[in-house]
Amino acid sequence: MKTSTRIPEGQEEYRRRLLDKRTEVLSGLGIKFDTLARMGRVAEEDQAQISHDEFVSLHINSLDYAELRLVDEALDRLDSGDYGICLACEQPIPAKRLRALSWARYCVKCQDSVGMDLDRELGFGIARVPAASAHQA
């Protein structure tokens, strides 16, 4: 692992992308609840729909918080000099992947193998059905 705190040239672009994403996620948090709260009292027959909307809003907010956590972790790795290094194999993550997903924690190979299991344990994302199983269904 790297110990340098200086950000190598070219990584300022990643910092900007991460900060932009962080701002975007933060701006969306709470808006869903504000909309529901402004409705005030509603007819009894509308309660089921409102309960469902609240459930969906809570789920979306939890996904937003998980994404925010990933972005904050990436910013921490950027500050510590470990940004762009796969957390599983400790090899550099290709720039193409980082441009597409600035908060990537794993290279594609590791994401496909250990990354999904580790993310599931940490509560990030959802489980994917393997392609072979999806075709059999």
CATH code (residue 28): 1.20.120.910
Q: Does any domain span residue 89?
A: yes
pLDDT at 111 over 70: yes
Helix/strand/coil for 2: coil
pLDDT bin (cut points 50, 70, 90) of residue 31 is low
Average pLDDT over residues 67-76: 93
Spatial neighbors of 17 by CB under 8 A, at least 6 apart, are 102
Q: Does any domain span residue 5?
A: no
pTM of the complete model: 0.63
Q: pLDDT tens digit string along 32-54? A: 555 555 556 666 676 677 666 76
Q: Does any domain span residue 108?
A: yes
Q: Does any domain span residue 79?
A: yes
Q: Does any domain span residue 66?
A: yes
pLDDT at 118 over 50: yes
The domain total for the chain is 1
